[in-house]
Every structure is written in structure tokens, then in C-alpha cells.
Amino acid sequence: MNVKGTKVVEFLLSKYLNISKSNDQYRRLGLILITILSCTAVSAFFTFYNLVIDYYPPLFYVDLAGTLLGGVSLYIFLRFRWILLASFILILMVTGVCFMVMVDRNNLDYSLAWAFVAPLISIFLLGYLYGTLYSLLYLAFVMWLSGSNLGVWQPAPWDRDSFSNIIAIYLLLFMLSCYYEASRRYAHQLLQESNDKLRTLASTDALTGLFNRRHMEDLLLNSEKSLFIIMADVDNFKNINDEFGHAVGDEVLISLGKIMQSVAGTDGTVGRWGGEEFIIAINASHEKEVMRFPQRLLEAVSSHQFATGRPVTVSLGCAFHNAKEHRATLRSVDEALYSAKTSGKNCYKLVKYSP
């Protein structure tokens, strides 16, 4: 199915059924619509073929009736949104026309090949269960017709009509298969995007866009690298909320998150620990380098112009993280942070070795 074909389906579903590509019904309705359009187009072609190219009145009237029923099915589908009725009308049209062709032409013109259209279209239109039952019922009729003529029908010549039938069947099944595959890939893409969003939401703080506590806990517990962690707490944050309101308080937290990301760079991971607390995990392969981060962070925060119109400061507790003693390390960092808060704030305290 080419891009134009999928665009036509997308346009019709959007205009008449108000169904967008993101709707969970888009794929099913798209398959039904493309089946209606394709089968009606094939029936219209053979109406023209049996009238103009190879005049044969019996099949001309059969195909004309099929084309009209296809149009009725399309009208009911788009105008009234009676999906099930439109599907039943079309499946009866397709299998009825194919069966009439087989009855009229027997095994001439490779007409029996039209029986292969029924299973695919039945499942597309009626779903797996009812489509399977309908296909088996149709198979019984085909078996009866062909079985009752064993030894009666003679070998069929390969001629223009045979060629036309085989090509038409092939193109119809090919087009429907391509659209099915395109819709399957798109549905899979939507599923992947949805899963990615869920993973992001599960690990991201909604306000700041930083990693949340759960993600940071997993990082600390599972990291094979030596890490230096900085726990940051906003000084007098309650006063900011009380004086300027929670909206300004939220802006302060968002700005602090950006500052911390800027200071940490590619060497560190920043997360919101909860409330006005943040945590930074920095690659500690070079001890002397990481020791510069706390002071740089204090200076970056105190020099920033916040929405409060006055300086905002943070207190920091720092330690080298030991994954085997994760809880003990966090307690040590928390104690260091408390020490920084009680020592005048806007400073950092370091626990050089975790217990």
C-alpha cells in the first residue's frame, strides 16, 4: 500500500468518523475501510472488463451488482458509521460475487482462485472468531461446488481471462497485506512510544523534569562506578512559599534543577529527592575533581537571579557513596546536610568515608 493510499484512508476516517491515527480504533477501522475501497474498485474494474474489453453479460451484471453493494457499504460506513452492517454487506458482496463467478465459469479462467480472497477479507471485516467461522462456511460451499464436479471439469486453458483473474487476485491480496503490515508497524511504533513515555514518567519528576527519587535510588544501588553524592536542600524554602506563593516556589525549584544540571554537566546525574531536596550523583573516578563541585554549586546558586528577586541559597551534604552500605551512606549524607543547615546554611559538609 503506497503513501497516497494510507493518506486517503487517514483523510476519510478523520473527516467522516473523526478518528485520528492516535485513536485505538484507527487500525481496525482503517483495515475495514481499505478493504471496502479495494474490493469495490476490483468489482468496478471487472464490470468495465466484462462490458468493454471482453463482453460477457452474465458476469457484467454480477460485477455491477457487486460494485453497487460496495458503494452502499462505503456509504453506510462513512455516513452512518454502522461499521458492522457495512462489513457484513461487503463480505456478502465479495464472497457472493466470487461464488457466482465460480458457478458460472466453473474452473475456466482460473476462477476458483477467487476462493482464496475469502479468508483474508472475512477476518479483516468480521474479526478473528466470526471471520474464521464465515471462512469455514464459505470453504464448505467451495468444496461442495468443486467436489461435485470431480471428473466433470476439464483442464482450463491459460488465456487472457485467466491472466486477468490471477493478476487481479494477486494485486488485491498484495494491497491488503501491505496496508495490514503498514498499520501493524504503526501500531507497534505507537506502543513503543507509549512504553517510552511510561518509562520516562516512572523515572521523572513531574515538576522539574529531573530524575525522581526512585530512579536515583536505582542508580546508586546498581552503579558499578565510584560515585560522589551531593544532597542539596533549599534554605528557608518555606518562607519563599509563604511570602511569594507556591507558583514562585515551583519556579525556584525548576531553576535550581537547571543550575545543578549545568554544574554537574556530563559527569553527574541530577534528581529531585523530594520536596525541596535534590541529589547529585557524580562520577568519582578523580577525587580531587569532584571535591570542587560543592563550592561551584554554592556559587552558581547564590549568584543566580531567581523569581523572588533576591538571592536563594542551598545547604549541601556530601559523601563518597558505597553501594554495599547504601543506607548507611545516605544516613551519613543526611547528617552532613543537617550539620550544614545548623552551621549557618549556604555551605557544605563532607563525610569523607562512608561507614
Residue 354 has pLDDT above 50, yes or no: no
Mean pLDDT of 166-172: 95
List, in order, residues 6 or more apart from 212 with CB less than 8 Å away.
203, 204, 205, 271, 272
Give me the chain's average pLDDT, please. Answer: 92
Residue 282 has pLDDT above 70, yes or no: yes
What would the pLDDT profile of 233-259 be if each residue is shown by its tens digit?
999 999 999 999 999 999 999 999 999
CB neighbours of residue 233 within 10 Å = 20
Residue 143 has pLDDT above 70, yes or no: yes
- Predicted pLDDT of residue 1: 52
- pTM above threshold 0.85: no
Q: Is 276 noted as a catalytic residue in this protein?
A: yes
pLDDT band for 353, please (50, 70, 90 cuts).
low
Output b/e per residue, 56-93; b: 16+ Cβ within 10 A: beebbebbbbbbebbebbbebbbeeeebeebbbbbbeb
Q: Contact, 97 vs 44, CB < 8 A? A: no
Q: Contact, 266 vs 206, CB < 8 A? A: no
Question: Helix 3-16 and helix 26-48: axis angle, to 10°?
Answer: 110
Task: Using the structure block, give the residue that is written with the C-alpha cell 452492517.
Answer: 85
Residue 355 has pLDDT above 50, yes or no: no
Which residue of the set 251, 276, 299, 335 is catalytic? 276
Mean pLDDT of 95-105: 95
- Predicted pLDDT of residue 325: 86
Residue 273 has pLDDT above 80, yes or no: yes
Query: What is the CA 218 to chain-centroid distance, rounded?
Result: 26
Q: How do strand 314-321 and strand 348-351 relate by DSSP bridges?
A: parallel
Q: Contact, 73 vs 92, CB < 8 A? A: no
Mean pLDDT of 337-345: 95
Mean pLDDT of 79-86: 95
Query: What does the DSSP assignment read for 188-225?
Result: HHHHHHHHHHHHHHHHB-TTT-SB-HHHHHHHHHH--S
Residue 309 has pLDDT above 80, yes or no: yes
Task: Using the structure block, give the residue that is written with the C-alpha cell 477476518.
Answer: 123
How far, in Å, CA of 171 to CA of 43, rounded? 13
Alpha helices in 25-116 (DSSP H): 26-48, 57-75, 83-105
Q: What are the residue ranges of CATH 3.30.70.270 in the chain?
A: 213-351
Residue 284 has pLDDT above 90, yes or no: no
Fold designation for 213-351: Alpha-Beta Plaits (3.30.70)
Residue 313 has pLDDT above 80, yes or no: yes
How far, in Å, CA of 201 to CA of 179, rounded? 33
Instruction: Find residue 234's DSSP bridge partners.
Output: 314
Residue type, position 139, single letter? L
Q: Contact, 16 vs 76, CB < 8 A? A: no
- Predicted pLDDT of residue 301: 96
Residue 40 has pLDDT above 50, yes or no: yes
Task: Using the structure block, give the residue that is written with the C-alpha cell 568519582.
Answer: 284
- Predicted pLDDT of residue 4: 65
How far, in Å, CA of 355 to CA of 313, rounded? 29
Which grid coordinates belong to 141? 460451499
